[in-house]
């Protein structure tokens, strides 16, 4: 992954609150035939995260890798903790 670790942490911090409030959304996306990538981009949009700095050194593919990783990590943490990531 090409994203700097500090940018990844900031991005994750922006996305996690939305995912915590809507824990079943990912499954709803899957049932509708949509991917984790689509869910991740929608969560990012909902978070209102300012992407300007990321686009100075990353492209959409690099950003999407980080977004999907965040979604998968949070989903895994949610399942392990029994409902609270």
With a cut of 70, say whether residue 11 has pLDDT above it: yes
With a cut of 50, say whether residue 85 has pLDDT above it: no
85: Cβ contacts below 8 Å, ≥ 6 apart:
16, 19, 20, 74, 77, 78
Give me the pLDDT at residue 75, please.
82
Give me the pLDDT at residue 25, please.
87
Query: How many other β-carbons are positioned within 10 Å of the β-carbon of residue 69?
Result: 16
pLDDT digits (tens, 9 = 90+) for 68-81: 999 999 887 766 55
Domain boundaries, the chain: 5-79
């Amino acid at each position: 992954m090409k994203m700097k670790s500090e940018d990844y942490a900031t991005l994750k911090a922006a996305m996690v609150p939305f995912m915590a409030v809507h824990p079943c959304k990912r499954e709803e996306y899957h049932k509708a035939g949509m991917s984790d990538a689509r869910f991740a981009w929608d969560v990012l949009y909902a978070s209102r995260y300012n992407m300007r700095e990321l686009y100075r050194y990353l492209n959409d593919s690099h950003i999407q890798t980080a977004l999907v990783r965040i979604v998968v990590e949070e989903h895994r943490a949610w399942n392990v903790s029994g409902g609270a990531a």
